[in-house]
Structure 1
Amino acid sequence: MGCSCNNKKKDQFQVVTQGGSGRAVLTSSSKDTATSVSRKYPGSVVKDGQGNIVGGQASAAAGTQDHSKGHPNEKAP
C-alpha cells in the first residue's frame, strides 16, 4: 500500500482572518471543515490553494449585531 503523502494534487483550504489579510488559523483538505471553522472567526474567509476566496464570511460585520447600545425597539433621539 502506498503512502498518502505522495498525493500532492489534493486541494488545500485555509481559513484566514481579517477578510483574507490576517493569519491562517487552519489548513485543511476539506472545504466543509474549513467553512465550518471560519464561522468561529468573525470576518474570516476560506481560500483555496491558489489564494482565491471560496467561502467564509463576507465581512466582520456580516451576521453580527451590536447589542451593546439600547433596546432594539428604542427610537433614536
Structure 2
Amino acid sequence: MEGFLNNLDIKTLGQVFTPKKIVDFMLTLKHNHGSVLEPSAGDGSFLRRLKKAVGIEIDPKICPKNALCMDFYGLF
C-alpha cells in the first residue's frame, strides 16, 4: 500500500502508511499483554500481524479488501 497515494493525497488526507521495517520493529516491542490500539488502521500493516485485532479506518478506499468494512460514524 506504500506508494499508493501521491503527495497531494498525503497532504490532503493526512494519510501516511508505516513502512514494513518499522512495523516489524514496533511489533518486537510488544510483550504479549494488554491491548494494542491502532487508531488509524489504514492498509492493515499492524492488524494483519496481531491476533484478535480490531481496527478502525474511515476511508473505504484504503480499508483492506478482505476486511469487514462498516460505517460506524456517529455511533461513538
TM-score w.r.t. the length of structure 2 is: 0.25
TM-score w.r.t. the length of structure 1 is: 0.25
Structure whose CA Rg is larger: 1
Q: Which has the higher contact order (CA 8 A, sep 6+)?
A: 1
Could you say which structure has the higher helix fraction? 2
Could you say which structure has the higher strand fraction? 1
